[in-house]
Amino acid sequence: MFIHDSESRENEVDMVFYAPMVTAGSVAAMRRDAGGLICYAMPREVGEQLGLRYMDEILRDVGYGPIAGRVLRYGDPPNFSLWVNHVGVATGIRDEDRALTIRELDRVASLVLGGRVGDAREAFYREFTSPGHVPILLGRGLSRRRGHTELSLALAELAGLRPSIVVAEVLSDGGAMSVGDAERLARVYGSILIEGDEIVSMWDRAGGAAAGTTPGSA
């Protein structure tokens, strides 16, 4: 799946994968044909159950206030939390390594969403190390932010899937790939490109509350 946020925001397209299905081939595709940072996304409510916070908050707390939390031209606060590796990886950066880390992050998120918060926290702090090569993004919800993180998580929920996603910006030499070129790339993958406004419209029609973003719901 490919998602374009909007012309008035970043005006970028992200390649999006459903985290439970990510393989080394998926990571290679994002690295080769997208080229942007490969990030794992979960809802903020799920991350909070694991004790996760936004990285700009952490940095301000330890004295990096002057450089933490500045907002870039597109206008939204950053969603970054910790960067992690699963303890089972070799170096962490290889395609198979990042795929493993992503799938294990999804497993932890699924425990939280299934109401097994204690098991999820135990697994997270036992099986991951930080810093690592997979940045965790905490989605703020479409009511607060309409970036690729929030759009992709909302789309997963609308499709009846758990909100556990991998995103990477689609780049070209020197900048973002145009929407037209990204549409052609989507066709190569047998996929589609969907506009952010379409996702927001579907979300609003669904009442802004598809199943799954609160711990204890499947």
User: How far is 197 from 48, CA to CA, in rounded Å?
Assistant: 28
Q: Has residue 217 been placed in a domain?
A: no
Q: Has residue 216 been placed in a domain?
A: no
Give me the CATH number covering residue 36. Answer: 3.90.870.10
User: Which of these is catalytic: 85, 97, 104, 148?
Assistant: 85
Q: Has residue 211 been placed in a domain?
A: no
User: Which of these is catalytic: 10, 97, 157, 169?
Assistant: 169
CA 211 to chain CA centroid, nearest Å: 18
User: How far is 205 from 43, CA to CA, in rounded Å?
Assistant: 20
Concerning whether 195 is annotated as a catalytic residue, the answer is no
Concerning whether 14 is annotated as a catalytic residue, the answer is yes
Query: Residues with Cβ < 8 Å from 2, sequence gap 6 or more?
Result: 13, 14, 15, 16, 170, 182, 183, 185, 186, 191, 192, 193, 194
Q: Has residue 78 been placed in a domain?
A: yes
User: How far is 95 from 73, CA to CA, in rounded Å?
Assistant: 31
User: How far is 210 from 158, CA to CA, in rounded Å?
Assistant: 6
* In contact, 78 and 55? CB cutoff 8 Å: yes
User: Which of these is catalytic: 12, 39, 40, 95?
Assistant: 39
Number of folded domains that form the chain: 1
User: Which of these is catalytic: 33, 96, 133, 195?
Assistant: 133
Q: Has residue 45 been placed in a domain?
A: yes
Per-residue model confidence as pLDDT tens for the chain (218 residues): 999 998 888 899 999 999 999 999 999 999 999 999 999 999 999 999 999 999 999 999 999 999 997 888 877 889 999 999 999 999 999 999 999 999 999 999 999 999 999 999 999 999 999 999 999 999 999 988 999 999 999 999 999 999 999 999 999 999 999 999 999 999 999 999 999 999 999 999 998 754 445 454 43
Q: Has residue 215 been placed in a domain?
A: no
Q: Has residue 127 been placed in a domain?
A: yes
Instruction: Note down the domain range covering 117.
Output: 2-205
Q: Has residue 98 been placed in a domain?
A: yes
User: pTM of this prediction?
Assistant: 0.93
CA 137 to chain CA centroid, nearest Å: 5
User: How far is 160 from 208, CA to CA, in rounded Å?
Assistant: 14
User: Which of these is catalytic: 14, 97, 104, 150?
Assistant: 14
Concerning whether 133 is annotated as a catalytic residue, the answer is yes
Query: Two tokens at 96?
Result: 């198979």
* DSSP notation for 2-53: EEE--TTTT--EEEEEEGGG--HHHHHHIIIIIBS--EEEEEHHHHHHTT--
Which residue in 26, 87, 29, 81 sits closest to 55, CA to CA? 81
Concerning whether 173 is annotated as a catalytic residue, the answer is no
User: Which of these is catalytic: 74, 119, 122, 125?
Assistant: 74
